[in-house]
Amino acid sequence: MSTLIRNGRIITAEQDYTADVLIEKETITAIGSSLQMKADKVIDASGKYVIPGGIDVHTHMDMPFGGTTSSDDFETGTRAAAFGGTTCLIDFAIQTKGQKIREALDIWWKKGEISTIDFSLHMIVTDLPEAHLEDMNEMVREGITSFKLFMAYPGVLMVDDATIYRAMKKTAENGALVCMHAENGSVIDMFVQKAIAEGKKAPIYHALTRPTTAEGEAVNRAIALAQMAGAPVYIVHLSSADALEKVAEARDRGIPAFAETCPQYLLLSIEDMERPDFEGAKYVFTPPLREKWHQEKLWAGIKKNTLQVVSTDHCPFCFKEQKELGRESFAKIPNGGPGVENRLQLLFHHGVNMGRISVNRWVEIVSTAPAKMFGLYPRKGTISIGSDADVVIWDPNTEHTISASTHHMRVDYSMFEGFKVKGNAETILSRGEIIADKGTWFGKAGRGKFIKRDVFAGAWK
C-alpha cells in the first residue's frame, strides 16, 4: 500500500514548506515538490498542514486508582487520542509494592494489546530494594527507558528520597530517565487530615491542601537528588510558577532538568474547582489547578523552553459513578481528568492562533520533543525520509466546539466543555494506514504496536 499526500504545508519543529509526501507501506519514503511517483491513494492536502502525529507521553489507560479504574482502556483511549491527532502514547505500567517490576510489565503489556496506535510504557516504581536494582537494567533492555517515581500519595505510590536517589544512580548508569511526580506528599497528607478533621470536605479542599510551595519544594529536592546522582530528571505535570522557577534556575546552572505541563494547567484554574453541585470534582487531579496568574507563567515557560513537552496526564473517571465516590470527602475523589483527545486542538488554538507560540514550536511540544526526550526520535516525531508514517493532516481553519456529547473518550464529561477551537486533525495515518478521516474511524483494536524505546542519553547529549 502506498499513499501520496500532495501539496500540504509540511510543518516540523524546524521547517515549514510546501511539498508532497510519499508513504510506502509503513514508512515515509520520499518528500519533494511535484513527486512523479504513482501511489495507491492520493490525498490532496492543499491548504492543510502535514505534521508528525502527536505523541502524548503521559496517559493512564485502564489504571486502578482511588478505589476504581480509569474509564478509558487502551482501545477507547487510543481511539480518542487518534481522533485528536495523537498517533503514539506512553502510558504507565505500575509496580505494586513487593511485586517484581518484570511482572508489572507483563500485566501492562497485556492491557496494551488492544491499542489502536503505537504505544510504549514508563515503569512506575514503588518498591526498589537493593536486590531489585538490576531489574531496571532489564527494563531498559526491553525498551522501557523511563521510570516514574512519586514524592506524593504516601502509603500508595510514594517512595522515600533514598529510593529516588538509588533509582537515579541506576539511570545515570543505564541511560534511562527518571520522571518525577513532585509534591511533598508527607506534608500534604497532614494538611489533608487537618482539613477533614475540620469538616472541610468539598472538592476545593483538594487544591487548598496541596499548595504550590509543596510542589516547588519537591521539584527542588528532585533536582538536587538528580544532581547528586549525576542523572537527568524530568518533572511530570508541572502546574505552578513556584515549580517552574526551580526548573528554570537549575537549567540556568546547566543541570539536565526537564519538565512537562498539561493543557489543564495552561487553561483552567482553581476557580473551576468551586463549581456548585459537586461539579468541582471534575477538576480534581494532582497537582491541583492553580490561581489563574500561573497560566501565563507556564506559557512563558513553554516559549523559553523551560518546559519542553506538553502531555495530558489523561486519567479519566466518570463524573456520575466514579467522581461520586468522593461526594462525602474530597480525599476520596479519584484523582484524574480526561484530555487525550484535545491536546493538539487546545495548544494550536490557545498557543498558535493566540500568538503565544509559533506553529513550529507547537509541533515541537506535542510531537518532536516528546519523541526526543523518550527515545522515539527520529522514528517518530518528525516528517522525514525513513520515519514511521505517523502523519496528521491538520486543517488550520476548521472550527470545533469541545463537548462530552461529541468526544470519543469514554467519560461522561469534558474538562473543556464549550471551549471553541479553530484547527483540528482531519486525516490521521498511523504507520501509513489511514485510521481516521473526517470524523470516520477506520482503525482496529490491536493494530498498535508496543515500541521499544532507545535510552534518553543518546538524543539529548
Binding site for Zn ion (CB under 5 A): 181, 313
Of 337 and 443, the one with the shorter C-beta distance to ligand URP is 337
Of 311 and 382, the one with the shorter C-beta distance to ligand URP is 311
Beta carbon of residue 33, minimum distance to Zn ion (angstroms, whole number)? 43
Out of ligand URP, Zn ion, none, what residue 336 binds, judged by CB under 5 to 8 A for its kind, is ligand URP
Out of Zn ion, ligand URP, none, what residue 166 binds, judged by CB under 5 to 8 A for its kind, is none
In the chain, what are the helix, strand and coil shares in percent, each to the nearest 5? 35, 25, 40
Beta carbon of residue 188, minimum distance to Zn ion (angstroms, whole number)? 13
Rule CB under 6 A: is residue 349 a binding residue for ligand URP?
no
Residue with cell 522501557: 144
Of 24 and 324, the one with the shorter C-beta distance to ligand URP is 324
CA distances from 76 to 18, 61, 239, 259, 296 (A): 34, 9, 27, 28, 33
x/- letters, 231..260, toward ligand URP (CB under 6 A): ------x-----------------------
Of 234 and 348, the one with the shorter C-beta distance to ligand URP is 234
Residue with cell 527518571: 178
Residue closest to Zn ion when measured from CB atoms: 181
Nearest of 1, 48, 58 to residue 359 by alpha carbon: 48
Beta carbon of residue 82, minimum distance to Zn ion (angstroms, whole number)? 20
Pairing type for strands 49-52 and 391-401 reads antiparallel
* Single residue of 60, 79, 166, 290 touching ligand URP by CB under 6 A: 60
Rule CB under 6 A: is residue 286 a binding residue for ligand URP?
yes
Q: What is the spatial distance between Cα 358 and Cα 372, in angstroms, rounded to a whole number?
A: 19
Number of residues interacting with ligand URP: please give it, by CB under 6 A: 9
Q: Cis omega (within 30 of 0) on the bond before 396?
A: no
Of 86 and 335, the one with the shorter C-beta distance to ligand URP is 335
DSSP 362-391: HHIIIIIHHHHHTT-TTTSSS--TTSB--E
Residue with cell 520520499: 30
Of 322 and 335, the one with the shorter C-beta distance to ligand URP is 335
Of 287 and 443, the one with the shorter C-beta distance to ligand URP is 287
* Single residue of 258, 285, 377, 456 touching ligand URP by CB under 6 A: 285
Of 85 and 287, the one with the shorter C-beta distance to ligand URP is 287
At 335, list the grid cell.
484523582
Backbone angles phi, psi at 98, to 5 degrees: 90, -10
Rule CB under 6 A: is residue 314 a binding residue for ligand URP?
no
Which parts of 91-150 interact with ligand URP (CB under 6 A)?
none
Contacting residues for 431 by C-beta, under 8 A, at least 6 apart: 26, 27, 118, 388, 389, 390, 449
Residue type, 16: D
DSSP 450: B
* Single residue of 322, 335, 368, 414 touching ligand URP by CB under 6 A: 335
Out of Zn ion, ligand URP, none, what residue 335 binds, judged by CB under 5 to 8 A for its kind, is ligand URP
H-helix or E-strand spanning residue 31: strand 27-32
Rule CB under 6 A: is residue 315 a binding residue for ligand URP?
yes
Which residues does residue 311 pair with via DSSP β-bridges, in sequence order? none
* Single residue of 54, 301, 336, 375 touching ligand URP by CB under 6 A: 336
Rule CB under 6 A: is residue 290 a binding residue for ligand URP?
no
Do 427 and 43 form a contact (C-beta atoms < 8 A)?
Answer: yes
Residue type, 57: V
Q: What is the spatial distance between Cα 425 and Cα 392, in angstroms, rounded to a whole number?
A: 6
Of 306 and 335, the one with the shorter C-beta distance to ligand URP is 335
Longest Cα pair distance anywhere in the chain, in angstroms? 73
Task: Compute the CA torsion angle 337, 64, 81, 12 (nearest 10 deg).
Answer: 90
Of 78 and 312, the one with the shorter C-beta distance to ligand URP is 312
x/- letters, 166..205, toward ligand URP (CB under 6 A): ---------------x------------------------
At 399, list the grid cell.
472550527
What are the residues binding ligand URP (CB under 6 A)?
A: 60, 181, 237, 285-286, 313, 315, 335-336
